[in-house]
Amino acid sequence: MAQKPAIPKGTRDFLPSEVARRTYIFDTIKSVFKTYGFAPIETPSFELSTTLMGKYGEEGDRLIFRILNSGDKMKKADVEALNEGNLPRFANSLAEKALRYDLTVPFARFVVQHQNELSFPFKRYQIQPVWRADRPQHGRYQEFYQCDADVVGSDSLLYEVDFVQIFDQVLTRLQIPGFTMKINNRKILSGIAEVSGEADKLIDITVAIDKLDKIGEDGVVEELRQKGVSETAIATISPLFTITGSNEERLAQMKTFLSASEIGLKGIEELEFVLEQTKALGLERAEVEFDVTLARGLNYYTGAIFEVKVHDVKMGSICGGGRYDDLTGLFGLSGLSGVGISFGADRIYDVLNELDLYPSDADASLTLLFANFGQSEAAYCMRLSKLLRQKGVDCEVYPSDAKMQKQFKYADNRKVKFVALIGENELKEGKLQVKNMETGEQIAYTEAELLAFFTA
């Protein structure tokens, strides 16, 4: 071994026990999605650059992994653009393909492309990896799995209500003890910008107030100034920083604040509906909080905005989502409203590891190991294994007649539930020894009894 092999930064390997835990997470999410009527689709891991570029804001483009053209296509490089200093155009000429950055934009592309094969409202879920050329940090990877559920072709707020239930169901089933679902509405943010007289600075304003809990009131004011927001506008916005009380009380205060803004009041109305319906349905573990400062960077959201954070753990949001009225419009099909959510599987995996929340059978391994006592005994065990496997029992025969100590140690490491000891004597007497590795108890069975025991 000349040099130790390595994997790229921000990626990870998963051992069998780790994959078992991740499978448990994926299966939990899938089963809930399914009960709400979502069906799975898949899209390619990479898309045409033009499909992705420009869909995630200025910062987003920087974080998209580009795939270098190969072979003769390299000759298509736009050297002129390079000389002119137009790096984006030069990059586009070098890389016609890019790894997907999220699952929502490819889904919008998918819907437009297959519009005549789908019936609307179209509900799909999608669990696949995405890639971001971000600087890795705790809970931040360059390759990670998103678990998305979206519905397009309906502007019904009942779907927002469903998604709130889905967040609650999934995270409750995963045994996460406490988590808060923050909810806001982009129309309320538009209303704020409108009321302050800076409607054209909507993005700057929302990005700034989104940082309230991080940089504080003074920090937000400072950032607003830097972005060129007027002092009168800042003075108008400032009272929002100190809004408190229950969701109902906050909504009431916002209603007053936005009384002059039609779009703002529309946002309040939508949010009220979702919160009322949610209250009527009830929640298991989720706490719902209306947070005016919740903005979510994605600039395609137009209505509800969601974010979920786990209590008492140092981790960014584990889920996000929202409504986007015209995402498919970017690909030439307008008039379709969509709403969706995303579970960050890798962050959930990290949280569950940190809080040690896996059920004991999440990493269950082999059910039965046949100890190997030699050629003829092993041959008998192989026949018995085949019978058991046909009944769906997972089992295997130890590959060589090594010392019992070694065979048992192997069984122990593999977390095997039972070890069968079938040597010369057992075969002669027709008494097959089966040891329970947890209790240490050992029982002799006839072949028929053994088959019955494991297939019962």
Partner RNA sequence: GAGGUUGUAGCUCAGCUGGUUAGAGCGCCGGAUUGUGGUUCCGGAGGUCGCGGGUUCGAACCCCGUCUUCCUCCCCA
Tokens of 256: 């007053």
403 is an interface residue for RNA by CB under 7 A? yes
From 20-28, 45-53, 330-338, 425-433, span contacting RNA (CB under 7 A): 425-433
Q: Which of 200, 356, 361, 438 binds RNA (CB under 7 A)?
A: 438
List of long-range contacts for 360-363, beta carbons under 8 Å, 24+ apart = 362/20, 362/21, 362/24, 363/17, 363/20, 363/21, 363/415
320 is an interface residue for RNA by CB under 7 A? yes
From 14-22, 82-90, 169-177, 339-347, span contacting RNA (CB under 7 A): 339-347
From 17-25, 66-74, 158-166, 312-320, span contacting RNA (CB under 7 A): 312-320
Contact residues for 96 (Cβ-Cβ < 8 A; gap 6+): 48, 49, 67, 69, 73
342 is an interface residue for RNA by CB under 7 A? yes
Q: Judged by CB, which is closer to RNA: 54, or 297? A: 297
**Hey, how many other C-beta atoms are within 10 angstroms of the C-beta on 42?**
12
Euclidean distance between CA atoms 174 and 120, whole angstroms: 31
Q: Judged by CB, which is closer to RNA: 265, or 437? A: 437
Contact residues for 267 (Cβ-Cβ < 8 A; gap 6+): 185, 186, 187, 188, 189, 190, 191, 258, 303
CB of 310 to RNA, least distance (A): 10
296 is an interface residue for RNA by CB under 7 A? yes
136 is an interface residue for RNA by CB under 7 A? yes
Q: 3-class SS at 287?
A: strand
CB of 219 to RNA, least distance (A): 8
Euclidean distance between CA atoms 354 and 348, whole angstroms: 10
Q: Judged by CB, which is closer to RNA: 9, or 75? A: 9
Residues 349-388 that bind RNA (CB under 7 A): 373
List of long-range contacts for 213-218, beta carbons under 8 Å, 24+ apart = 213/293, 217/241, 217/242
317 is an interface residue for RNA by CB under 7 A? yes
Q: Which of 24, 122, 125, 144 binds RNA (CB under 7 A)?
A: 144
Tokens of 151: 């519905």
Compute, in degrees rounded to 10, the torsion defined by CA atoms 414, 420, 423, 425.
Answer: 150
Residues 52-81 that bind RNA (CB under 7 A): 56-57, 59-60, 62-63
Residues 186-245 that bind RNA (CB under 7 A): 207, 211, 214-215
Residue 194 backbone dihedrals phi, psi, to 5 degrees: -65, -50
Instruction: Report in angstroms the alpha-carbon separations of 159 from 17, 36, 425.
Output: 36, 10, 66
Query: Amino acid identity, residue 162?
Result: D
Euclidean distance between CA atoms 404 and 207, whole angstroms: 65
Helix or strand holding residue 89 (H, E): helix 87-94
406 is an interface residue for RNA by CB under 7 A? yes
CB of 45 to RNA, least distance (A): 16
Q: Which of 275, 346, 418, 454 binds RNA (CB under 7 A)?
A: 346
CB of 124 to RNA, least distance (A): 17
Euclidean distance between CA atoms 381 and 387, whole angstroms: 10
Q: Which of 237, 318, 336, 368 binds RNA (CB under 7 A)?
A: 318
Residues that bind RNA (rule: CB under 7 A) add up to a total of 66
16 is an interface residue for RNA by CB under 7 A? no
Binding site for RNA (CB under 7 A): 2-4, 6, 8-10, 56-57, 59-60, 62-63, 102, 132-141, 144, 146, 207, 211, 214-215, 296-298, 307, 314, 316-320, 342, 344, 346-347, 373, 403-406, 408-409, 411-413, 419, 421, 423-426, 433, 435, 437-438, 440, 442
